[in-house]
């Protein structure tokens, strides 16, 4: 492979990744919020597993808490969607929307990553594997952040509901 072919392939892959990131991110903005809240498949997909220890696994194994605020938020980068850098308030509506948006963000990164094997179609083997590594490095951290934050937010939400129920009874 010549240098010019390698450079062409590099720019082709960068362009395709850019299109994949943007098209999936924007497409998922059009999915109704109820889908993330009420859909049984999504409830199973986004449910915290016991082995995740309510998200604490991600901090104990990967120190997520120390770096999660340093990574860019796609909504801020492109001025699209819901910004997840900070919870606007602990009001029920804001908590529910933030939790729902963590699901949308996680789904976005899973779908982006699932397209990585397509890079084997036009790349030499070594370049395809570089794209697989890119897909993992650029999506897994964001999935971990969502899976770290969501159980904590859901726990706070449950505690708030429990307090309200105790006041009413």
**Residue 28: predicted pLDDT:** 93
**Residue 143: predicted pLDDT:** 96
For residue 33, give every residue at least 6 positions away whose Cβ sits within 8 Å of its Cβ, in sequence order, or none.
Answer: 97, 100
Cβ atoms 87, 99 nearer than 8 A = no
CA distance 69 to 52: 20
Cα–Cα distances in angstroms (integers) from residue 56 to residues 53, 66, 86, in the given order: 5, 13, 19
pLDDT along the chain (169 residues), means of 10: 93 97 92 86 88 92 92 67 66 84 94 98 97 97 94 86 67
CA distance 33 to 156: 21
**Residue 12: predicted pLDDT:** 98
**Residue 90: predicted pLDDT:** 74
- In the block, tokens 């029920």 appear at 92
**Residue 77: predicted pLDDT:** 59
The structural domains of the chain, with segments of one domain joined by +, span 32-168
The model's pTM is 0.86
State the DSSP H helix or E strand holding residue 98, giving kind and residue range, or none if neither: helix 92-114
State the DSSP H helix or E strand holding residue 68, giving kind and residue range, or none if neither: none
**Residue 79: predicted pLDDT:** 59
């Amino acid at each position: 492979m010549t240098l010019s072919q390698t450079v062409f392939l590099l720019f082709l892959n960068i362009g395709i990744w850019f299109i994949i990131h943007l098209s999936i991110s924007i497409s998922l903005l059009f999915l109704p919020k109820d889908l993330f809240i009420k859909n049984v498949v999504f409830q199973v997909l986004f449910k915290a597993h016991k082995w995740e220890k309510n998200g604490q696994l991600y901090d104990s194994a990967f120190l997520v808490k120390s770096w999660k605020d340093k990574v860019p938020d796609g909504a801020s980068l492109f001025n699209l969607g819901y910004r997840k850098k900070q919870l606007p308030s602990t009001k029920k509506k804001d908590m529910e929307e933030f939790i729902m948006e963590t699901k949308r963000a996680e789904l976005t990164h899973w779908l982006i990553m699932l397209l990585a094997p397509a890079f084997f179609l036009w790349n030499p083997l070594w370049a395809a594997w570089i794209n697989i590594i890119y897909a993992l490095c650029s999506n897994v951290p964001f999935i971990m952040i969502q899976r770290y934050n969501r159980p904590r937010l859901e726990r706070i939400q449950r505690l708030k509901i429990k307090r309200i129920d105790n006041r009413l009874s």
